[in-house]
Structure 1
């Protein structure tokens, strides 16, 4: 590129007690008008990009767009007309840009640059505002710094991690590893065992996959990256038994799939199809197969769902189902009706927009909440099958029942079709953690710049502030990574870990880490960034 990427603006301590958000930041009329109306070409606009919170791929995308379409990418925010940022909290934003300067600029989210580049002109900045100005001082809440992610984030020291450990929480697992095709091969076998109820065998395959994902740069293979070419290499890794070693040997011998028989099986195809419908697990899928059902048409008849060609589109605004055991047939019927929408992957930009819309609604209910998008998004996936958001508030007593109130507000505003609400359950007598959560079908409002009418799965999880970071870790995943944190805590420390918190087993003493890094420190684990927690395929 013909320019150096700008460094962050020098840090200046904030004198404010607020970081509140809204859909419209303070934009001086003269500046805002000049950007949105007078400049009929994006080539006249000077940009500054706050690099915090962007992953490398997104940052590269934005720099390329700026280089191709904008007038100039500034090294200093003072010289820019528009500041692009993924930060939505004032307190964190002030770590990069002084608030007085921010109030003199148009501060927008990255979608503004994408849409403006597509339109060939600068779009109105107010439609893409990233921050809220201080128009409601009486409702501002001081957010403790421990509830905000560190900036910059902690680096992961790969050299300190242990490829030979049997615990995924001690190994670095990238999103895609040099042996990804082998991992996918083993995952078909894992799925087959899981669908047939062979849980121990399925877990063995899952562990083997996580080891292969985490051993990508081990000393066994020499210089990174290196592919597994023999079963001898795999035999030196933990958690890989003779059966899995034989599968690896057959695969590495000629690189031909050893799972063709499984994939061609009518039963496997039916079980896979049924379990792809949200709300249908392996047990229910096997029950449906035993009844002779084999296709989606069969399922629609069984559950009394109208054929796709005959039913009208589902109206906005559905039911709120109170449940601690799941939504049962109600959810399955909805999932069948919405299966075409729910099967469409959600790009990162839309994930971020869904989070922004939800947090704006939440801020109207209770100013001062903070949130983290978790799940595959946080682990670096370019697309997600659903969106998971963990949120909290500094005053836990003041906001009891906030998740339920948020669900009802979204319902009233027509943003979802159905919600299964799981209340706080301290007894933990189900497969869910004890946190208050809502599993919803959500649609972006028409006022959103990314509104497309597609129904999306959105899970909202409220965590009290003292267990916020354990909730973030648990819901970030991956499945095997968080499973092995639980196992490590039990085996090595006689402690119990889940999304609801950390307790000592012999006396139930609770521990409340104040940051995500402190969770790792408390559990005597080396820090692993979310991008390295992809221990599943």
Structure 2
């Protein structure tokens, strides 16, 4: 149904969708700004726009001397508040969208305010269409403007500009050879305020590193850990989800909060009783029994060794092993571990090395040392291949003061130079005496849209690293290399936390997509999508941006 052009004082209730919009034939000459959008064809997509906003934009188009058209394919400029491809495709064919300048409403507002058409790229409605929007942006010279007005200068920084282009705002000033989309933001993006803590998925909520109910979360996590070690995956996941819900609760619970507890997602009757027991007594009886159990403590010890999972831990316990001395005897840990960059030849050698280095690897890594390790590795990588970019991820990025290991994601703007870099870097670090052991080394392989294995298709090396400092302590350092198009999915995937990432994959699945560190895939046809920024990963799934320091959904 056509949307009639609003009168001078529009009535919002009279506005509807699918507009056929025309400028007023009675527009006064004094209202027209010849230097703005003279004779340009503009289409307004009213999805996500309020009626009074549509009326305002129609008025601005009229004032600027442009022509409003009823079909997107007839336009040169599409004005939209839609920021996601999936939603945009409900209204406009993607091939049409790629052939137009797709801008936010602020582009029109600022252009009219400044008296000339501003560059469209700065106001691109979708980050993935930034380049086509910039290329399709009509210039004043195209409108037969005077030569003096043909050069478009960018607007001064305004709040509306930053708001309309979050994917390109707050970036570092970069060297010429590094694309802007591969650089971290100068200032962390702010999380959406007042997120609802009762929503289903932890990737829709904020979770601080230490929450108001931290001790309760740690108590429930003991039960979760036991269930996981005993191979009870579904039960373990139930406790993990409950912990994530409590981590998001904004204040300290009390025994008077029965209704609040009932409103929290993923907390069933049994866990609810445990929560109330803790709030009344300060502890949970079942947790105390678990912590006193010889079996639980042995399984936790065994599973803390790299290469020993829950199943192996249970088998070791069944063989009669109970402590570290038993483990060392069983795996014949004698003398210095074997070194070399080819890595262990078997899982048992993995475990031998991890046992031999256990005392060192158990020492936490302070943030200052994490940064030192990162700088050192980047200096060596610059020798191997200049121009790489990287980001420290994992617990460090989520705000931990101390880390168990160091995770770093790397890429190079030239995809051909990123392939094979992991092995080259590890060899150099080994030659320099920094990498002493390689626990895992893999190269890039084809993206598997139906991947059921744990690992993604990125090139990676899990190493033991000796920092070049006096009296160094050896550290676990994981080196992850991504192609430039998968850099931001790798950053999101390796930042964590575990439950946050699991829920992110669940949200993607509900939308017919699959997310992992090596890309985003549409399930029905295996089409790959490559976000240009970290925020765009969230945008693609309709999720609010959540700062890395608020993704701590695990205990």
Aligned to 1:121: none
Aligned to 1:221: none
Q: CA deviation at 1:467?
A: 0.8
Q: Secondary structure at the match of 1:203?
A: helix
Following superposition of structure 1 onto structure 2, how do residues 337-348 of structure 1 map, counting pairs within 5 Å? 337-348=356-367
Q: Secondary structure at the match of 1:292?
A: coil
Pair 1:535 & 2:553 matched: yes
Q: Does the Cα contact within 8 Å between 1:171 and 1:215 map onto a contact in 2?
A: no
Worse-matched range after superposition: 176-185 or 426-435: 426-435
1:263-319: CA deviation from partner (whole Å, max 9, x where unpaired): 11110010011011111111110010011111111111111112xxxx35x58x524
Correspondent of 1:526 among 528, 536, 544: 544
Give the distance between the partners of 2:181 and 2:344, measured in 1 at CA: 33
Q: CA deviation at 1:93?
A: 6.6
Worse-matched range after superposition: 415-424 or 401-410: 415-424
Going from structure 1 to structure 2, the CA distance change for 1:141 and 1:462 (only over 3 Å counts) comes to: farther
Pair 1:226 & 2:252 matched: yes
Q: Does the Cα contact within 8 Å between 2:172 and 2:185 map onto a contact in 1?
A: no
Q: Secondary structure at the match of 1:496?
A: strand
Q: Does the Cα contact within 8 Å between 1:389 and 1:459 map onto a contact in 2?
A: yes
Q: Does the Cα contact within 8 Å between 2:172 and 2:186 map onto a contact in 1?
A: no
Q: CA deviation at 1:92?
A: 7.1
Correspondent of 2:248 among 214, 220, 233: 214
Give the distance between the partners of 2:343 and 2:316, measured in 1 at CA: 24
1:421-471: CA deviation from partner (whole Å, max 9, x where unpaired): 02223344531111110000000124xxxx432110000000100010010
Aligned to 1:277: 305
Pair 1:435 & 2:458 matched: yes
Correspondent of 1:461 among 480, 488, 494: 480
Q: For CA contacts below 8 A with separation 6 or more, give which structure has more relative contact order.
A: 1
Aligned to 1:150: 185
Give the distance between the partners of 1:294 and 1:206, measured in 2 at CA: 27
Q: CA deviation at 1:256?
A: 2.5
Correspondent of 2:291 among 256, 263, 266: 263
In structure 2, the gaps of 5 or more residues are 1-169
Give the distance between the partners of 1:474 and 1:298, measured in 2 at CA: 36
Correspondent of 1:354 among 344, 350, 373: 373
Give the distance between the partners of 1:234 and 1:536, measured in 2 at CA: 18
Give the TM-score, by structure 1 length.
Answer: 0.68
Q: Does the Cα contact within 8 Å between 2:274 and 2:284 map onto a contact in 1?
A: no
Aligned to 2:267: 240
Q: Does the Cα contact within 8 Å between 1:141 and 1:368 map onto a contact in 2?
A: no
Q: Does the Cα contact within 8 Å between 2:253 and 2:279 map onto a contact in 1?
A: no
Q: CA deviation at 1:141?
A: 6.6
Pair 1:388 & 2:411 matched: no
Give the distance between the partners of 1:364 and 1:92, measured in 2 at CA: 26
Give the distance between the partners of 1:383 and 1:228, measured in 2 at CA: 30
Correspondent of 1:334 among 353, 356, 360: 353
Q: Does the Cα contact within 8 Å between 1:231 and 1:252 map onto a contact in 2?
A: no
1:495-524: CA deviation from partner (whole Å, max 9, x where unpaired): 000101101111111111100011111111
Aligned to 1:26: none
Going from structure 1 to structure 2, the CA distance change for 1:322 and 1:506 (only over 3 Å counts) comes to: farther
Pair 1:414 & 2:437 matched: no
Going from structure 1 to structure 2, the CA distance change for 1:252 and 1:226 (only over 3 Å counts) comes to: closer
Q: Does the Cα contact within 8 Å between 1:471 and 1:500 map onto a contact in 2?
A: yes
Q: Secondary structure at the match of 2:416?
A: coil
Following superposition of structure 1 onto structure 2, how do residues 12-23 of structure 1 map, counting pairs within 5 Å? none
Q: Does the Cα contact within 8 Å between 2:466 and 2:472 map onto a contact in 1?
A: yes
Going from structure 1 to structure 2, the CA distance change for 1:302 and 1:141 (only over 3 Å counts) comes to: farther
Q: Secondary structure at the match of 1:388?
A: strand
Q: Secondary structure at the match of 1:398?
A: helix
Aligned to 2:343: 321
Going from structure 1 to structure 2, the CA distance change for 1:153 and 1:510 (only over 3 Å counts) comes to: same
Q: Does the Cα contact within 8 Å between 1:392 and 1:464 map onto a contact in 2?
A: yes
Q: Point out the structure with max Rg over C-alpha.
A: 2
Going from structure 1 to structure 2, the CA distance change for 1:379 and 1:228 (only over 3 Å counts) comes to: farther
Q: Secondary structure at the match of 1:334?
A: helix
Aligned to 1:18: none
Q: Does the Cα contact within 8 Å between 2:445 and 2:458 map onto a contact in 1?
A: yes
Q: CA deviation at 1:94?
A: 4.9
1:354-394: CA deviation from partner (whole Å, max 9, x where unpaired): 00001111010000100000000000000000000000000
1:136-183: CA deviation from partner (whole Å, max 9, x where unpaired): xxxx87000110012222111222x22111101000000011100110
Give the TM-score, by structure 2 length.
Answer: 0.66
